[in-house]
Amino acid sequence: MVPAANLSHLMLRHDVIDAVAAGHFSIYPLETADQAIELLTGVSAGEMDDQGSFPEGSVNRLIGDRLSKLAAIRRSYGRSEDEGKQTASADDPAGQDKS
């Protein structure tokens, strides 16, 4: 995989060019990270729709779903920590009086 913008500057040895021509390996010029995701996984990366959602089963949807779950877990830890804190008062606006 190489960035498509660099393709014209790609310098390969003749034996490498021959190996590509013989089908021993391929060189893929890519313009986006989504193209790399699709090439490496064989699964559609998915394009965002007008509502900001990715198609079900796409890699980007799976990533978004996982990030949402991790954010919810993080928020749940934040709530349980906040519940144990004292409320702020005029004498201790930060609510941190340890006396």
Q: How far apart are CA 74 and CA 24, in angstroms?
A: 47
HEC sequence for 77-99: HHHHHHHCCCCCCCCCCCCCCCC
Domain extent listing, the chain: 2-83
Per residue in 3-43, pLDDT (tens digit) is 999 999 999 999 999 999 999 999 999 999 999 999 999 99
Q: Cβ(96)–Cβ(74) under 8 Å?
A: no
Q: What's the predicted TM-score (pTM) here?
A: 0.65
- Band of residue 85 on the pLDDT scale cut at 50, 70, 90: low
